[in-house]
Amino acid sequence: MQQDLANRIVLITGASSGIGAATARELAARGATVVLGARRVDRLDALVAEITGTGGRAEARALDVVSADEVQAFADHALAAHGRIDAIVNNAGVMPLSPLSARKRDEWDRMIDVNIRGVLHGIAAVLPAMEAQGFGHVINVASIGAHQVFPTSAVYCATKYAVWAISEGLRQETTTLRVTVVSPGTTTSELADTITHAGAAEGMRDFRRITIAPEAIALAIAFAMSQPADVDVSELIVRPVASP
């Protein structure tokens, strides 16, 4: 087992499936203590049992990132238990795609709440502790949708452009913290399950014909975290290619 992240205290939001769960496994395998949050606690508990069963360190708490209070309590709990927070992976996200003409206002709000406010809540929850420590790493999961807009994905991409902008703004405002924005291409996960618009779901099935495993994104996050303390990997874009 590599131990390059030994004893790091790492918070991960949206850890109950996909990229978040893969990241929890990868970081724990490298020696980090992972503090996992999501709404599906049964999934988190199973993941904690899996990680601790193989000698890793993991704990979980129910977390809805839409609630600033819940995210603050999540971070406060980790700080009280471990004395510091080395990193947070703001990963929780939803992607109910649809054309703007469908006027799915509730789904627009949901994406704004989870994908933008959730990331802001994560940053706000850890910033005082990280600034007091004089170190810390904020890793925000954006998307290739932070760089390109696709039909039916205007609002989703807007939220990911926002995650990119928030990450860049935070990076410019700090000299002591590391800030990384990770932008995955199509990755195997449950993300497309949130699409309720039939046409958008069909388009996504075609778009997602080539995907990479969530472990590929976990490796990118681990790479950024494993750099020397004075090295900030500001952005990683990780896309699939067709395998031979």
Catalytic residue numbers read 156
Side-by-side strand order, sheet with 87-90:
57-62, 33-38, 9-13, 87-90, 137-141, 178-184, 235-238
Candidates 10, 19, 85, 195; binder of ligand NDP (CB under 6 A) is 19
With a CB cutoff of 8 Å and minimum separation 6, the contacts of 93 are 14, 114, 115, 118, 141, 159, 191
Contact 156, 95 (CB under 8 A): yes
184 binds ligand NDP (CB under 6 A): yes
Q: Are 236 and 220 in contact (CB under 8 A)?
A: yes
122 near ligand NDP, judged by CB under 6 A:
no
Site for ligand NDP in 44-103 (CB under 6 A): 63-66, 91-95
Which is closer to ligand NDP, CB of 6 or CB of 49? 49
Q: In the Cβ-directed half-sphere of 73, how many Cα atoms lie within 13 Å?
A: 12
Q: Which is nearer to ligand NDP, 136 or 184 (CB)?
A: 184
- Using CB under 6 A as the binding rule, the residues of this chain from 20 to 39 that contact ligand NDP are 20, 38-39
Number of residues binding to ligand NDP, judged by CB under 6 A: 31
Helix (H) or strand (E) holding 12: strand 9-13
**Is residue 190 part of the contact set for ligand NDP (CB under 6 A)?**
yes
Q: Distance between CA atoms of 54 and 124, rounded to whole angstroms?
A: 33
Burial bucket for residue 60 (CB in 10 Å: 0-12, 13-18, 19+): buried
Nearer to ligand NDP, 16 or 33 (CB): 16
Q: Does 189 bind ligand NDP (CB under 6 A)?
A: yes
To the nearest whole angstrom, how small is the minimum distance from the Cβ of residue 47 to ligand NDP?
10
Residue ranges binding ligand NDP (CB under 6 A)? 13-20, 38-40, 43, 63-66, 91-95, 114, 141, 143, 184, 186-187, 189-191, 214
